[in-house]
Amino acid sequence: MIEVKNLCKSYGDYKAVIDVSFSAAKGDIVGFLGPNGAGKTTTIRMLSTYLPPTSGTATVAGYDVIAQADEVRRRIGYLPENPPLYGEMTVREYLKFVGEIKGVARAQLASRIDEVLERCFIKDVRNKLCQHLSRGYRQRVGLAQAIIHHPQVIILDEPTSGLDPRQIIEIRQLIKSLGQDHTVLLSTHILPEVSMVCNKVVIISRGRVVMESRLSDLTRDKSLEQVFLESVSHDEVVDAAACVNQGA
Amino acid sequence: MRNIIAICKRELLSFFVSPIAYFVITGFTLLVGFFFFNYFSLFLRMYQMSAYLSMRGMPLPNLNQTIIEGVYQTMIVILVFLVPLLTMRIVAEDKRRGTFELLLTSPVSVFEIVMGKFLSLAVIIFAMLSISFIFPLLLIVYGAPEVPPILSGFVGVLLCTLGFASIGMAVSSFTENQIVAGVSSMVTLLLLYVIQAPAESLDGTVADVLRYLSPVDQVQDFVRGVVTLKATVYFVSMITLGLFLSQRALDALRWR
Protein backbone atom coordinates (compact mmCIF):
# COMPACT_ATOMS: atom_id res chain seq x y z
CA MET A 1 0.00 0.00 0.00
CA ILE A 2 2.81 2.39 0.86
CA GLU A 3 6.21 1.93 -0.76
CA VAL A 4 8.91 4.48 -0.02
CA LYS A 5 12.33 4.23 -1.67
CA ASN A 6 15.32 6.51 -0.97
CA LEU A 7 13.14 9.52 -0.33
CA CYS A 8 15.07 12.77 0.25
CA LYS A 9 13.97 16.30 0.95
CA SER A 10 16.28 19.25 1.35
CA TYR A 11 15.55 22.90 1.91
CA GLY A 12 18.60 24.62 0.44
CA ASP A 13 21.54 23.14 2.30
CA TYR A 14 19.46 21.70 5.10
CA LYS A 15 18.56 18.06 4.61
CA ALA A 16 15.30 17.36 6.40
CA VAL A 17 14.84 13.79 5.16
CA ILE A 18 17.73 11.61 3.98
CA ASP A 19 17.29 8.42 2.04
CA VAL A 20 14.15 7.21 3.78
CA SER A 21 12.83 3.81 2.70
CA PHE A 22 10.07 1.71 4.23
CA SER A 23 6.89 -0.05 3.24
CA ALA A 24 3.46 -0.82 4.60
CA ALA A 25 1.15 -3.62 3.50
CA LYS A 26 -2.63 -3.61 3.37
CA GLY A 27 -4.17 -3.62 6.83
CA ASP A 28 -1.01 -2.44 8.55
CA ILE A 29 -1.04 0.23 11.19
CA VAL A 30 2.43 1.68 10.94
CA GLY A 31 3.83 3.79 13.72
CA PHE A 32 6.20 6.41 12.41
CA LEU A 33 8.25 7.11 15.48
CA GLY A 34 10.93 9.67 16.14
CA PRO A 35 12.00 12.56 18.35
CA ASN A 36 10.76 16.05 17.55
CA GLY A 37 12.34 17.45 14.40
CA ALA A 38 13.36 14.03 13.06
CA GLY A 39 11.64 14.57 9.71
CA LYS A 40 8.33 12.83 10.40
CA THR A 41 6.11 15.65 9.24
CA THR A 42 8.21 16.31 6.14
CA THR A 43 8.03 12.64 5.12
CA ILE A 44 4.31 12.55 5.73
CA ARG A 45 3.79 15.71 3.70
CA MET A 46 5.63 14.12 0.79
CA LEU A 47 3.48 10.99 1.01
CA SER A 48 0.31 13.09 1.10
CA THR A 49 1.47 14.88 -2.10
CA TYR A 50 1.64 18.22 -0.30
CA LEU A 51 5.42 18.56 -0.71
CA PRO A 52 7.37 17.23 -3.67
CA PRO A 53 10.41 15.08 -2.74
CA THR A 54 13.85 16.31 -3.76
CA SER A 55 14.76 12.80 -4.88
CA GLY A 56 13.63 9.23 -4.46
CA THR A 57 10.26 7.67 -5.12
CA ALA A 58 7.15 6.91 -3.13
CA THR A 59 4.03 5.07 -4.17
CA VAL A 60 0.81 5.16 -2.21
CA ALA A 61 -1.98 2.69 -3.05
CA GLY A 62 0.04 1.74 -6.12
CA TYR A 63 0.36 5.27 -7.54
CA ASP A 64 3.40 7.50 -7.70
CA VAL A 65 3.11 10.60 -5.49
CA ILE A 66 4.53 12.85 -8.21
CA ALA A 67 3.51 11.43 -11.56
CA GLN A 68 0.06 10.27 -10.44
CA ALA A 69 -0.55 12.72 -7.62
CA ASP A 70 -4.25 13.07 -8.36
CA GLU A 71 -4.82 9.31 -8.14
CA VAL A 72 -2.99 9.28 -4.81
CA ARG A 73 -5.10 12.18 -3.53
CA ARG A 74 -8.26 10.27 -4.34
CA ARG A 75 -7.07 7.33 -2.23
CA ILE A 76 -5.63 8.94 0.87
CA GLY A 77 -7.14 10.49 3.93
CA TYR A 78 -4.77 12.95 5.54
CA LEU A 79 -4.86 14.63 8.91
CA PRO A 80 -2.10 17.23 9.24
CA GLU A 81 -0.69 18.09 12.65
CA ASN A 82 -3.13 20.98 12.98
CA PRO A 83 -6.57 19.85 11.82
CA PRO A 84 -7.35 21.91 8.69
CA LEU A 85 -10.73 23.23 9.87
CA TYR A 86 -12.69 26.21 8.58
CA GLY A 87 -13.66 27.95 11.82
CA GLU A 88 -16.72 29.67 10.40
CA MET A 89 -18.36 26.43 9.22
CA THR A 90 -20.35 24.02 11.32
CA VAL A 91 -18.96 20.50 11.63
CA ARG A 92 -21.62 19.19 9.29
CA GLU A 93 -21.09 21.90 6.67
CA TYR A 94 -17.37 21.29 6.87
CA LEU A 95 -17.67 17.53 6.37
CA LYS A 96 -20.04 18.11 3.46
CA PHE A 97 -17.53 20.41 1.81
CA VAL A 98 -14.65 17.97 2.31
CA GLY A 99 -16.81 15.11 0.99
CA GLU A 100 -17.56 17.14 -2.12
CA ILE A 101 -13.96 17.98 -2.95
CA LYS A 102 -12.83 14.44 -2.14
CA GLY A 103 -15.26 13.16 -4.74
CA VAL A 104 -17.83 11.35 -2.58
CA ALA A 105 -20.87 10.62 -4.78
CA ARG A 106 -23.72 13.06 -4.18
CA ALA A 107 -26.19 10.30 -3.35
CA GLN A 108 -23.96 8.84 -0.65
CA LEU A 109 -22.72 12.06 0.87
CA ALA A 110 -25.39 12.45 3.55
CA SER A 111 -25.08 8.87 4.72
CA ARG A 112 -21.26 9.06 4.71
CA ILE A 113 -21.43 12.19 6.87
CA ASP A 114 -23.73 10.46 9.36
CA GLU A 115 -21.43 7.47 9.41
CA VAL A 116 -18.27 9.42 10.22
CA LEU A 117 -20.12 11.59 12.74
CA GLU A 118 -21.05 8.39 14.51
CA ARG A 119 -17.70 6.73 14.14
CA CYS A 120 -15.64 9.65 15.42
CA PHE A 121 -18.05 10.43 18.29
CA ILE A 122 -18.82 13.94 17.11
CA LYS A 123 -22.54 13.59 16.53
CA ASP A 124 -23.39 15.89 19.42
CA VAL A 125 -21.28 18.76 18.04
CA ARG A 126 -22.39 18.46 14.42
CA ASN A 127 -24.12 21.83 14.41
CA LYS A 128 -21.41 23.69 16.29
CA LEU A 129 -19.00 26.03 14.55
CA CYS A 130 -15.54 24.50 14.17
CA GLN A 131 -13.94 27.51 15.84
CA HIS A 132 -15.84 26.79 19.04
CA LEU A 133 -14.61 23.21 19.36
CA SER A 134 -12.12 22.08 21.98
CA ARG A 135 -8.80 20.59 20.94
CA GLY A 136 -10.07 17.03 21.33
CA TYR A 137 -13.12 17.63 19.18
CA ARG A 138 -11.07 19.46 16.55
CA GLN A 139 -8.82 16.44 16.31
CA ARG A 140 -11.78 14.11 15.93
CA VAL A 141 -13.38 16.29 13.26
CA GLY A 142 -9.99 16.22 11.53
CA LEU A 143 -10.09 12.42 11.65
CA ALA A 144 -13.66 12.36 10.35
CA GLN A 145 -12.54 14.57 7.46
CA ALA A 146 -9.74 12.10 6.68
CA ILE A 147 -11.99 9.06 6.43
CA ILE A 148 -15.13 10.51 4.85
CA HIS A 149 -14.32 9.26 1.34
CA HIS A 150 -13.34 5.80 2.57
CA PRO A 151 -9.70 6.06 1.52
CA GLN A 152 -7.44 3.03 1.19
CA VAL A 153 -4.63 4.75 3.06
CA ILE A 154 -4.98 7.01 6.07
CA ILE A 155 -2.09 9.28 7.03
CA LEU A 156 -2.17 10.89 10.45
CA ASP A 157 0.38 13.38 11.73
CA GLU A 158 0.59 13.19 15.54
CA PRO A 159 -3.12 12.54 15.99
CA THR A 160 -2.95 12.47 19.78
CA SER A 161 -0.82 15.53 20.46
CA GLY A 162 -2.37 18.01 22.82
CA LEU A 163 -5.20 15.77 23.93
CA ASP A 164 -6.09 14.83 27.49
CA PRO A 165 -5.60 11.19 28.62
CA ARG A 166 -9.19 10.17 28.05
CA GLN A 167 -9.29 11.66 24.58
CA ILE A 168 -6.00 9.94 23.78
CA ILE A 169 -7.49 6.58 24.68
CA GLU A 170 -10.57 7.25 22.55
CA ILE A 171 -8.55 8.36 19.53
CA ARG A 172 -6.27 5.33 19.84
CA GLN A 173 -9.25 3.00 19.88
CA LEU A 174 -10.63 4.77 16.87
CA ILE A 175 -7.36 4.40 14.95
CA LYS A 176 -7.18 0.73 15.90
CA SER A 177 -10.65 0.17 14.52
CA LEU A 178 -9.67 1.95 11.30
CA GLY A 179 -6.87 -0.56 10.80
CA GLN A 180 -9.42 -3.26 10.04
CA ASP A 181 -10.19 -1.91 6.59
CA HIS A 182 -7.61 0.77 5.89
CA THR A 183 -3.85 1.02 5.89
CA VAL A 184 -2.85 3.55 8.51
CA LEU A 185 0.38 5.48 8.83
CA LEU A 186 0.61 7.53 11.97
CA SER A 187 3.46 9.63 13.19
CA THR A 188 4.10 10.05 16.88
CA HIS A 189 6.83 10.88 19.31
CA ILE A 190 5.19 8.91 22.09
CA LEU A 191 6.66 5.44 22.42
CA PRO A 192 3.96 3.47 24.23
CA GLU A 193 1.45 4.69 21.67
CA VAL A 194 3.17 2.55 19.05
CA SER A 195 2.98 -0.66 21.08
CA MET A 196 -0.66 0.04 21.92
CA VAL A 197 -1.94 0.86 18.46
CA CYS A 198 0.45 -0.32 15.76
CA ASN A 199 1.56 -3.65 14.35
CA LYS A 200 4.61 -2.21 12.62
CA VAL A 201 7.11 0.46 13.59
CA VAL A 202 9.46 2.65 11.60
CA ILE A 203 11.89 4.66 13.69
CA ILE A 204 13.29 7.84 12.17
CA SER A 205 16.04 9.95 13.62
CA ARG A 206 17.72 13.03 12.12
CA GLY A 207 16.04 12.45 8.79
CA ARG A 208 17.12 8.80 8.46
CA VAL A 209 15.25 5.58 9.05
CA VAL A 210 17.15 3.76 11.76
CA MET A 211 14.85 0.79 12.11
CA GLU A 212 11.85 -0.86 10.49
CA SER A 213 10.25 -3.88 12.09
CA ARG A 214 7.04 -5.70 12.85
CA LEU A 215 6.10 -5.19 16.45
CA SER A 216 5.71 -8.94 17.00
CA ASP A 217 9.34 -9.57 15.95
CA LEU A 218 10.53 -6.81 18.13
CA THR A 219 9.10 -7.52 21.51
CA ARG A 220 10.28 -11.12 21.52
CA ASP A 221 13.77 -10.46 22.82
CA LYS A 222 13.91 -6.71 23.36
CA SER A 223 11.40 -4.11 24.41
CA LEU A 224 10.54 -1.31 22.03
CA GLU A 225 11.95 1.11 24.54
CA GLN A 226 15.40 -0.46 24.45
CA VAL A 227 15.46 -0.60 20.68
CA PHE A 228 14.39 3.00 20.40
CA LEU A 229 17.04 4.26 22.78
CA GLU A 230 19.72 2.23 21.00
CA SER A 231 18.73 3.31 17.55
CA VAL A 232 18.56 7.06 18.03
CA SER A 233 21.92 8.78 18.14
CA HIS A 234 23.65 9.70 21.37
CA ASP A 235 23.01 13.39 21.64
CA GLU A 236 19.38 12.65 21.06
CA VAL A 237 19.13 10.32 24.00
CA VAL A 238 17.87 13.07 26.27
CA ASP A 239 15.22 13.90 23.76
CA ALA A 240 14.42 10.25 23.27
CA ALA A 241 14.18 9.62 26.98
CA ALA A 242 11.62 12.37 27.10
CA CYS A 243 9.57 10.47 24.54
CA VAL A 244 9.67 7.38 26.71
CA ASN A 245 8.67 9.24 29.84
CA GLN A 246 5.93 11.18 28.21
CA GLY A 247 3.98 8.07 27.45
CA ALA A 248 4.57 6.45 30.80
CA MET B 1 -17.12 21.71 -12.28
CA ARG B 2 -18.45 20.19 -9.08
CA ASN B 3 -15.24 21.12 -7.29
CA ILE B 4 -15.42 24.71 -8.53
CA ILE B 5 -18.97 25.06 -7.25
CA ALA B 6 -18.12 23.41 -3.93
CA ILE B 7 -15.22 25.81 -3.38
CA CYS B 8 -17.29 28.81 -4.50
CA LYS B 9 -20.12 27.90 -2.11
CA ARG B 10 -17.69 27.49 0.75
CA GLU B 11 -16.12 30.90 0.09
CA LEU B 12 -19.55 32.55 -0.05
CA LEU B 13 -20.43 30.97 3.26
CA SER B 14 -17.24 32.43 4.74
CA PHE B 15 -18.03 35.87 3.36
CA PHE B 16 -21.47 35.96 4.88
CA VAL B 17 -20.66 34.35 8.21
CA SER B 18 -17.88 36.81 8.81
CA PRO B 19 -19.01 40.44 8.75
CA ILE B 20 -16.64 41.45 5.91
CA ALA B 21 -19.11 41.16 3.04
CA TYR B 22 -21.86 43.01 4.90
CA PHE B 23 -19.53 45.85 5.85
CA VAL B 24 -18.04 46.26 2.40
CA ILE B 25 -21.43 46.15 0.67
CA THR B 26 -22.99 48.58 3.16
CA GLY B 27 -20.02 50.93 2.93
CA PHE B 28 -20.09 50.87 -0.84
CA THR B 29 -23.81 51.57 -1.04
CA LEU B 30 -23.50 54.38 1.48
CA LEU B 31 -20.66 56.08 -0.40
CA VAL B 32 -22.31 55.69 -3.80
CA GLY B 33 -25.54 57.10 -2.34
CA PHE B 34 -23.66 60.10 -0.99
CA PHE B 35 -22.02 60.84 -4.32
CA PHE B 36 -25.28 60.27 -6.17
CA PHE B 37 -26.90 62.90 -3.96
CA ASN B 38 -24.05 65.33 -4.64
CA TYR B 39 -24.12 64.90 -8.39
CA PHE B 40 -27.88 65.18 -8.26
CA SER B 41 -27.79 68.51 -6.41
CA LEU B 42 -25.15 69.72 -8.84
CA PHE B 43 -27.44 68.83 -11.71
CA LEU B 44 -30.38 70.64 -10.10
CA ARG B 45 -28.29 73.75 -9.57
CA MET B 46 -27.11 73.72 -13.16
CA TYR B 47 -30.67 73.17 -14.30
CA GLN B 48 -31.89 76.18 -12.35
CA MET B 49 -29.22 78.26 -14.02
CA SER B 50 -29.98 76.87 -17.46
CA ALA B 51 -31.64 80.06 -18.67
CA TYR B 52 -28.51 82.00 -17.76
CA LEU B 53 -26.27 79.34 -19.33
CA SER B 54 -28.14 79.29 -22.62
CA MET B 55 -28.01 83.07 -22.77
CA ARG B 56 -24.24 82.81 -22.61
CA GLY B 57 -24.26 80.13 -25.30
CA MET B 58 -23.20 77.35 -22.94
CA PRO B 59 -24.64 73.83 -23.23
CA LEU B 60 -27.52 72.79 -21.04
CA PRO B 61 -26.87 70.18 -18.36
CA ASN B 62 -27.41 66.61 -19.44
CA LEU B 63 -28.74 64.04 -16.99
CA ASN B 64 -26.52 61.26 -18.26
CA GLN B 65 -23.36 63.29 -18.42
CA THR B 66 -23.71 65.01 -15.11
CA ILE B 67 -25.06 62.29 -12.87
CA ILE B 68 -24.48 58.89 -14.44
CA GLU B 69 -20.94 59.50 -15.63
CA GLY B 70 -20.04 61.12 -12.35
CA VAL B 71 -21.46 58.29 -10.27
CA TYR B 72 -19.89 55.53 -12.35
CA GLN B 73 -16.47 57.16 -12.36
CA THR B 74 -16.66 57.73 -8.62
CA MET B 75 -17.59 54.08 -8.13
CA ILE B 76 -14.25 53.10 -9.67
CA VAL B 77 -12.37 55.20 -7.10
CA ILE B 78 -14.33 53.67 -4.22
CA LEU B 79 -13.73 50.18 -5.59
CA VAL B 80 -9.97 50.75 -5.72
CA PHE B 81 -10.15 50.89 -1.92
CA LEU B 82 -12.94 48.40 -1.19
CA VAL B 83 -12.12 45.51 -3.53
CA PRO B 84 -8.81 44.74 -1.74
CA LEU B 85 -10.81 44.33 1.47
CA LEU B 86 -12.84 41.62 -0.22
CA THR B 87 -9.90 39.88 -1.83
CA MET B 88 -7.20 40.10 0.83
CA ARG B 89 -8.31 37.00 2.70
CA ILE B 90 -9.33 34.91 -0.27
CA VAL B 91 -6.16 32.81 -0.49
CA ALA B 92 -3.94 34.22 2.26
CA GLU B 93 -6.29 33.04 5.00
CA ASP B 94 -6.30 29.48 3.67
CA LYS B 95 -2.53 29.44 3.74
CA ARG B 96 -2.28 30.77 7.25
CA ARG B 97 -4.73 28.44 8.93
CA GLY B 98 -3.49 25.34 7.14
CA THR B 99 -6.66 24.60 5.19
CA PHE B 100 -4.60 25.02 2.08
CA GLU B 101 -2.94 21.74 2.97
CA LEU B 102 -6.39 20.15 2.83
CA LEU B 103 -7.13 21.64 -0.60
CA LEU B 104 -3.77 20.69 -2.06
CA THR B 105 -3.96 17.10 -0.82
CA SER B 106 -7.49 16.67 -2.22
CA PRO B 107 -8.21 15.62 -5.80
CA VAL B 108 -8.79 19.24 -6.81
CA SER B 109 -6.68 21.05 -9.39
CA VAL B 110 -5.15 24.46 -8.75
CA PHE B 111 -7.23 25.75 -11.65
CA GLU B 112 -10.41 24.63 -9.87
CA ILE B 113 -9.31 26.30 -6.63
CA VAL B 114 -8.60 29.57 -8.45
CA MET B 115 -11.84 29.48 -10.44
CA GLY B 116 -13.97 28.56 -7.42
CA LYS B 117 -12.56 31.40 -5.38
CA PHE B 118 -12.87 33.90 -8.23
CA LEU B 119 -16.45 32.84 -8.87
CA SER B 120 -17.34 33.57 -5.25
CA LEU B 121 -15.81 37.05 -5.60
CA ALA B 122 -17.78 37.58 -8.80
CA VAL B 123 -21.04 36.69 -7.02
CA ILE B 124 -20.36 39.14 -4.18
CA ILE B 125 -19.32 41.90 -6.57
CA PHE B 126 -22.39 41.40 -8.73
CA ALA B 127 -24.60 41.60 -5.64
CA MET B 128 -22.81 44.72 -4.44
CA LEU B 129 -23.07 46.56 -7.76
CA SER B 130 -26.69 45.48 -8.24
CA ILE B 131 -27.66 47.01 -4.93
CA SER B 132 -26.04 50.31 -5.94
CA PHE B 133 -27.87 50.15 -9.25
CA ILE B 134 -30.86 51.41 -7.31
CA PHE B 135 -29.55 54.98 -7.76
CA PRO B 136 -29.46 54.96 -11.58
CA LEU B 137 -32.78 53.13 -11.39
CA LEU B 138 -34.30 56.09 -9.51
CA LEU B 139 -33.32 58.30 -12.43
CA ILE B 140 -34.88 55.92 -14.91
CA VAL B 141 -38.12 55.76 -12.93
CA TYR B 142 -38.47 59.45 -12.13
CA GLY B 143 -36.53 61.09 -14.94
CA ALA B 144 -35.89 60.62 -18.60
CA PRO B 145 -32.25 59.67 -19.05
CA GLU B 146 -30.92 57.68 -21.97
CA VAL B 147 -31.18 54.12 -20.72
CA PRO B 148 -28.65 52.22 -22.90
CA PRO B 149 -25.56 54.11 -21.61
CA ILE B 150 -26.71 53.43 -18.05
CA LEU B 151 -26.79 49.70 -18.76
CA SER B 152 -23.54 49.58 -20.71
CA GLY B 153 -21.93 51.68 -17.99
CA PHE B 154 -23.01 49.11 -15.43
CA VAL B 155 -21.41 46.36 -17.51
CA GLY B 156 -18.23 48.44 -17.77
CA VAL B 157 -18.03 49.00 -14.03
CA LEU B 158 -18.74 45.30 -13.42
CA LEU B 159 -15.94 44.21 -15.77
CA CYS B 160 -13.57 46.70 -14.19
CA THR B 161 -14.40 45.46 -10.68
CA LEU B 162 -13.88 41.84 -11.72
CA GLY B 163 -10.49 42.90 -13.10
CA PHE B 164 -9.64 44.54 -9.78
CA ALA B 165 -10.78 41.43 -7.91
CA SER B 166 -8.66 39.10 -10.00
CA ILE B 167 -5.59 41.27 -9.39
CA GLY B 168 -6.41 41.36 -5.68
CA MET B 169 -6.70 37.58 -5.63
CA ALA B 170 -3.32 37.22 -7.36
CA VAL B 171 -1.73 39.44 -4.71
CA SER B 172 -3.43 37.41 -1.97
CA SER B 173 -1.99 34.23 -3.50
CA PHE B 174 1.56 35.44 -3.04
CA THR B 175 1.41 35.92 0.74
CA GLU B 176 -0.07 34.35 3.81
CA ASN B 177 -0.52 37.68 5.54
CA GLN B 178 -3.91 39.26 4.94
CA ILE B 179 -2.80 42.79 5.79
CA VAL B 180 0.13 42.54 3.40
CA ALA B 181 -2.25 41.25 0.73
CA GLY B 182 -4.75 44.06 1.37
CA VAL B 183 -2.22 46.89 1.37
CA SER B 184 -0.34 45.56 -1.67
CA SER B 185 -3.46 45.20 -3.75
CA MET B 186 -4.66 48.66 -2.73
CA VAL B 187 -1.34 50.15 -3.81
CA THR B 188 -1.37 48.16 -7.08
CA LEU B 189 -4.92 49.23 -7.94
CA LEU B 190 -4.26 52.85 -7.00
CA LEU B 191 -1.18 52.88 -9.24
CA LEU B 192 -3.24 51.41 -12.05
CA TYR B 193 -5.90 54.05 -11.43
CA VAL B 194 -3.47 56.95 -11.84
CA ILE B 195 -1.29 55.34 -14.46
CA GLN B 196 -2.28 57.76 -17.20
CA ALA B 197 -1.11 60.77 -15.14
CA PRO B 198 2.41 60.93 -16.67
CA ALA B 199 0.78 60.91 -20.11
CA GLU B 200 -0.08 64.61 -19.61
CA SER B 201 3.55 65.61 -19.94
CA LEU B 202 4.61 62.91 -22.40
CA ASP B 203 3.70 62.30 -25.96
CA GLY B 204 4.08 59.61 -28.55
CA THR B 205 3.70 55.89 -27.97
CA VAL B 206 4.45 55.94 -24.25
CA ALA B 207 1.61 58.35 -23.60
CA ASP B 208 -0.75 56.26 -25.72
CA VAL B 209 0.18 53.08 -23.89
CA LEU B 210 -0.28 54.72 -20.48
CA ARG B 211 -3.67 56.05 -21.53
CA TYR B 212 -4.69 52.64 -22.78
CA LEU B 213 -3.70 51.05 -19.47
CA SER B 214 -5.93 53.36 -17.47
CA PRO B 215 -9.14 51.71 -16.31
CA VAL B 216 -10.72 55.17 -16.02
CA ASP B 217 -10.40 55.82 -19.74
CA GLN B 218 -11.62 52.33 -20.61
CA VAL B 219 -14.70 52.55 -18.40
CA GLN B 220 -15.48 55.93 -19.95
CA ASP B 221 -16.29 54.21 -23.28
CA PHE B 222 -18.84 51.97 -21.60
CA VAL B 223 -20.35 54.85 -19.62
CA ARG B 224 -20.87 56.84 -22.81
CA GLY B 225 -22.77 53.91 -24.24
CA VAL B 226 -20.05 52.73 -26.59
CA VAL B 227 -19.13 49.09 -26.02
CA THR B 228 -15.82 48.92 -27.86
CA LEU B 229 -13.76 45.84 -28.56
CA LYS B 230 -10.70 47.73 -27.28
CA ALA B 231 -12.19 48.29 -23.82
CA THR B 232 -13.66 44.78 -23.62
CA VAL B 233 -10.33 43.22 -24.52
CA TYR B 234 -8.66 45.41 -21.92
CA PHE B 235 -10.88 44.21 -19.05
CA VAL B 236 -10.93 40.58 -20.13
CA SER B 237 -7.12 40.66 -20.31
CA MET B 238 -6.93 42.16 -16.84
CA ILE B 239 -9.15 39.39 -15.43
CA THR B 240 -7.18 36.69 -17.25
CA LEU B 241 -3.86 38.08 -16.09
CA GLY B 242 -4.98 38.05 -12.46
CA LEU B 243 -6.28 34.48 -12.71
CA PHE B 244 -3.09 33.37 -14.47
CA LEU B 245 -0.88 34.93 -11.79
CA SER B 246 -2.95 33.35 -9.00
CA GLN B 247 -2.64 29.97 -10.65
CA ARG B 248 1.10 30.46 -11.03
CA ALA B 249 1.56 31.51 -7.40
CA LEU B 250 -0.33 28.44 -6.15
CA ASP B 251 1.40 26.08 -8.58
CA ALA B 252 4.70 27.35 -7.21
CA LEU B 253 3.53 26.37 -3.72
CA ARG B 254 3.08 22.83 -4.89
CA TRP B 255 6.64 22.69 -6.16
CA ARG B 256 8.65 24.18 -3.38
**Type of residue found at B247:** Q
Q: Which residues of A touch B103 (CB under 8 A)?
A: 101
B10 contacts A89? CB cut-off 8 A: yes
Answer whether A52's CB lies under 8 Å from B254's CB.
yes
Higher pLDDT, B51 or B38: B38
* DSSP per-residue letters across B84-151: HHHHTTTTHHHHHHTHHHHHHTSS--HHHHHHHHHHHHHHHHHHHHHHHTHHHHHHHHHS---HHHHH
Chain A residues with CB under 8 Å of B105 CB are 48-50, 73, 76, 78
Res A221 pLDDT > 70: no
- pLDDT score recorded for residue A154: 94
Say if residue A174's pLDDT is above 90: no
Report the CATH fold assignment for A12-247.
Answer: Rossmann fold (3.40.50)
Mean pLDDT of A33-43: 87
B104 and A50: CB-CB below 8 Å? yes
Which residue has better confidence, B206 or A231?
B206
Contact A98 B106 (CB under 8 A): yes
Nearest residue, CB atoms, A88 vs list B3, B17, B101: B17
Of B6, B14, B97, the CB nearest to A101: B6
Left, alpha or beta for A163 (phi > 0: left; psi -120 to 50: alpha)?
beta
At residue A99, the pLDDT reads: 95
Domain locations along chain A = 12-247
pLDDT band at A242 (very low <50, low <70, confident <90, very high): low
- Tell me which of A142 and A35 has the higher pLDDT: A142
| Span A50-79, average pLDDT | 92
Please report the sign of the dihedral spanned by the C-alpha atoms of residue B76, residue B82, residue B84, residue B86: negative
Average of per-residue pLDDT values in chain A: 86
Q: How many residues does chain A have?
A: 248
Cβ <8 Å between A103 and B107:
yes
Q: What is the ipTM of this complex?
A: 0.87
- Asked if residue A4 lies in contact with residue A21, where contact means CB atoms within 8 angstroms, the answer is yes
Write down the pLDDT at residue A245.
59
Q: What is the pLDDT of residue A248?
A: 43
Pairing between strand A14-24 and A2-11? Answer: antiparallel
Task: Using an 8 Å CB-CB cutoff, list chain B residues near A45.
Answer: 101
Average pLDDT value for residue range B83-89 = 94
According to DSSP, the β-strands at A2-11 and A55-60 are antiparallel
Percent of chain B surpassing pLDDT 90: 64
Angle made by CA atoms A113, B3, B157, in degrees to the nearest 5: 130
Question: Which residues does chain A have within 8 Å of residue B10's beta carbon, measured at their own beta carbons?
Answer: 86, 89, 97
Q: What is the per-residue pLDDT for A236? A: 56
Count H helices and E strands in chain B, helices first.
Answer: 14, 0
Q: What pLDDT shows up at residue B103?
A: 94
Residue type present at position A238: V
A51, B105: Cβ pair inside 8 Å? no
CA-CA-CA-CA dihedral for B33, B34, B38, B41, to nearest 10: 60
Q: What is the pLDDT of residue A194?
A: 86
Closest-CA distance of chain B to residue A229, Å: 33
What tens digit of pLDDT does each residue of A100-121 get? 999 999 999 999 999 999 888 8
Asked if the Cβ–Cβ distance from A80 to B98 is below 8 Å, we say yes
